Structures are given as C-alpha cells and as structure tokens.
Amino acid sequence: MNSMNNVTTIKELVTKKITVLKEEVIDQYQVSFEVKKDDVHHLLSVLKQAGWRQLSYLSAVDWIEDNEFELVYIVFNWEKPVHIQIRCRIDRNAPTMDTILPIYPGAKYYEREAHEFFGIAFPGNDSHEKQLILENWDDIPPLRKDFDPKAYSDARFPKREYSNDHVEMNGQKESKQAKREERRTHILDLIKGGKK
C-alpha cells in the first residue's frame, strides 16, 4: 500500500513540473514516463532533488522504423523504492543528447558505451568518443538494428572449408568400423581353427 502511494506521489511530482507524453505504471515498484528531449535534464534534476540519487541504467533502443533512437534513463531511490524509467526519442540521423554528467557523475561510462554501440553523441562528456569495449571497430555501431553480424563476419573472415573424411564410413577410405569388422572375422576364424 505504502509503495503504491510512492507511485502516486511521483506522478504528481512529475506531471506538475513538465509535460509527460505518456506514462505507465508497470507495478508498485516501477513507473515509466515518456518525455520530450528538452525536458530530460530538468526532470532528472527534479528527481535527484526529491531523493532519486542513484542512476541505475542508461542506454538506448533503436526504433529503425520510426527513424528514431529512444534513450532510457532509470533512476532509483532507496528510501522510496521505485524505479523510474525516463524515456525520450531523438532523431536517428544525427543523434545527439546533452550529457547528464553534472546531475549524475556516474553516467560517464554509460554514455561512452551508448556512443560506442549506438553512435549517439553526448556533447559535454569529454570522453564519450573514446574507445571502450570494441577494439578498432570499422563498421556501423553494432547495436543498431541495421547491423547484421552474419554479414559482418562473412565479409571480414575467410570462409572455413570443412573436410568430411570423418563421415566416410563405407567409402574407399579405410575406416575404424572396417578394421573392427576385419578383426572380428579374424577372431571367429581363429575359433574355428583358422580359415578353411
């Protein structure tokens, strides 16, 4: 009951400050808000002031059919345990989003990772363009939906030829089974006292 109150308080707090495009209550511990790109920083600082001091997750989703990226910020408050998802859509052709480092210093590496895997620029975060996980990557950012790992590996790595000598059981090549058969007839012959 208490935690459902938390959700109501959050809804009041958020809708009073900014315009919410879409809101959804997932359960008593989680609520999500879709907002405009320009409102994200304001909303995050309001929430941090209200006790949502921990940035749990930051990433993006590629909606290629709408030609948009969706940024996801998840913040958490340990005193009123509710995860708040804040989502905003940004343009896919020139994806930029101002950094949230002044509000949540822990976002540094999340933004760097989002840049590496989606190609979203975070002006204000000096290190966002540095290489983090992918070494010498030479293709489009890999978590975009139009990146195809199979095509990438076909183009980059030589096709492997598999030899199939292990399946030649009854072919011209001498196999283990033929050897075994031969030994068996030999032994049977020996029991009978050798070949007649």
The C-alpha torsion from 85 through 83 and 25 to 60, rounded to 10°, is 20
- Amino acid letter for position 47: L
Min CB(154)–other proteins separation in Å? 15
**Residue 33 and residue 20 in contact, taking contact as beta carbons nearer than 8 Å:** yes
By beta-carbon proximity to other proteins, the closer residue of 132 and 169 is 132
Task: Please give the residue ranges that form the binding site for other proteins (CB under 8 A).
Answer: 3, 24, 26-27, 29-30, 32, 53-57, 59, 61-62, 72, 74, 76, 78, 81, 83, 85, 87, 104-106, 108-110, 117, 132-135, 142-143, 147, 149
Cα torsion through 48, 49, 51, 57, rounded to 10: 0
Instruction: Give whichever of 85 and 175 is closer to other proteins, judged by the CB atom.
Output: 85
Our CB check for other proteins shows the closer of 109 and 179 to be 109
Of 139 and 175, CB closest to other proteins: 139
Phi/psi region, residue 97 (left: phi>0; alpha: psi -120 to 50; beta: rest), is beta
